[in-house]
Amino acid sequence: MIKRDQIIDFINKILSYEKDKDPYGPNSLQVIGKEDVKKVVLGVSANLDLFKKAAQWDADIIIVHHGLFWNKDERIINRLMKARLKVLFDSDITLLGYHFFLDNHLSLGNNAQIIKLLGAKKGEEFGTLDKLSWGYEATFLKQITIDELIKRCKKLCGPNVKVFKYGPKFIKKFAVVSGGGGSNLLEAIDKNLDAYITGDARESTEAQAKEAGIHHIFFGHYNSEKFGVFALREVLKKKFPSLEIKFIDIPNPL
């Protein structure tokens, strides 16, 4: 077995974790569990279904992108939080959450991974929110058609990928901000990009895309944020080959 703190220290190091850097809430250790670790579960979001399935598998650690605790939440253990914590406490499971650090990371983050899997080259940071950059610009070394880009996006995330198709026929430069990056469409417009990829859209998005002549592609918030935990899973397998590691999908239509 591997020691819990050894795993936490390793992840904190490779993700360049810094305490209090994420304005939305705490990252890294959120609930402490048993010291010895044999089984690790990865998921996108902390919720009761994920915790129950992890407990049924006898997991020792759960690692997620969206953790349990957020700065905007009241400091009350309500019935939802109580039920979630009970599963973790009863099974002595450690919970780790990495929000900003699984979006922005240079290679393992959601955005870097999406760009890589689409066959493009990652460029400058993009997607400023709360004085942090969450995503990246990207370039195809050889431009592709918008239809080919949509095809590649659907290969990554399935047929439910949605598109406001108002930009040029050929795509050279684009940007990616996973999750709730709908507001950064205006930044993509200001930078004269051909397309913008994110997790969700806003009521104003289609009109903005149409008027600016840019493609807006959105995967769904949940689906756009699987890639960081997938990449982290592979790194953990290499570093700790004796661990049993699995991703548990809790499908989310949004």
Q: What is the CATH number of the domain that holds 17?
A: 3.40.1390.30
Q: Print the domain residue range for 205.
A: 107-222
pLDDT tens track for 178-194: 999 999 999 999 999 99
pTM of the complete model? 0.96
**Mean pLDDT, all residues of the chain:** 97
Measured in whole angstroms, the distance separating CA 199 from the mean position of its chain's CA atoms is 9
CB-neighbour burial class of residue 3 (10 A; exposed 0-12, middle 13-18, buried 19+): exposed
> Could you tell me if 63 and 138 lie in one domain?
no
> Would you say residue 235 lies in a domain?
no
> Could you tell me if 85 and 130 lie in one domain?
no
pLDDT tens track for 145-180: 999 999 999 999 999 999 999 999 999 999 999 999
Q: What does the pLDDT read at residue 1?
A: 86
Give the residue-averaged pLDDT of 213-228. 97
- The C-alpha angle with vertex 20 and arms to 127 and 111, in degrees rounded to 5, equals 30
Give the residue-averaged pLDDT of 69-84. 95
Work out how many domains the chain is built from and give that number: 2
Q: What does the pLDDT read at residue 8?
A: 98
Q: What does the pLDDT read at residue 10?
A: 98
Q: What does the pLDDT read at residue 130?
A: 84
pLDDT tens track for 9-61: 999 999 999 999 999 999 999 999 999 999 999 999 999 999 999 999 999 99
CB-neighbour burial class of residue 246 (10 A; exposed 0-12, middle 13-18, buried 19+): middle
> Could you tell me if 196 and 176 lie in one domain?
yes
> Would you say residue 236 lies in a domain?
no
Bridge-based pairing of strands 132-145 and 121-129 is antiparallel
pLDDT-derived band at 129, boundaries 50, 70, 90: confident
> Could you tell me if 12 and 90 lie in one domain?
yes
> Could you tell me if 89 and 111 lie in one domain?
no
Q: Is the pLDDT of residue 252 over 90?
A: yes
